[in-house]
Copies of this chain bind each other. A is one copy, B any other.
Amino acid sequence: MAKIRPVGDRVVVKPAPKEEVTKSGIVIPDTAKEKPQEGTVVAVGGGRLLDNGEHAAIDVHEGDRVLFAKYGGTEFKLDGEEYLVLKENDILAIIG
């Protein structure tokens, strides 16, 4: 894909198709009000700026399969594919 570098504590995620039965066996319940979503991390920012002027390393990495809070991201299309830019803090867990 065209290169994209998230800024600060942001990550770019390619969301998994919603009908997909994931390899990890996670199925998001239909009735949950705040549904988390699965996806794969495709790019990671330089990390949150700390008060001492350094950047904190981000705990997720390119290729990680993640569960994320759906409400938090911003959607965009790149080369015809949908992606989301999320704050690291919207990543709930790494799967697998």
Question: Which of A88, A92, A93, A96 has most chain B Cβ within 10 Å?
Answer: A93
Task: Determine which of B6, B24, B36, B59 lies in contact with A8 in the assembled complex, contact meaning CB atoms within 8 Å.
Answer: B59
Q: Does A16 contact B (CB under 8 A)?
A: no
How many copies of the chain does the oligomer comprise?
Answer: 7
Give chain A's interface residue range (CB within 8 Å of chain B): 35 or more
- How many Å lie between the Cα of A24 and that of B1 in the bound state? 9
- How many Å lie between the Cα of A5 and that of B67 in the bound state? 10
Residues of B within 8 A of A12 (CB): 93
Beyond A4-B95, A7-B92, 15 extra complex contacts between A and B, CB < 8 Å:
A2-B95, A4-B67, A4-B94, A7-B59, A25-B78, A26-B77, A28-B77, A32-B76, A36-B74, A36-B76, A43-B93, A51-B51, A51-B52, A67-B85, A85-B92
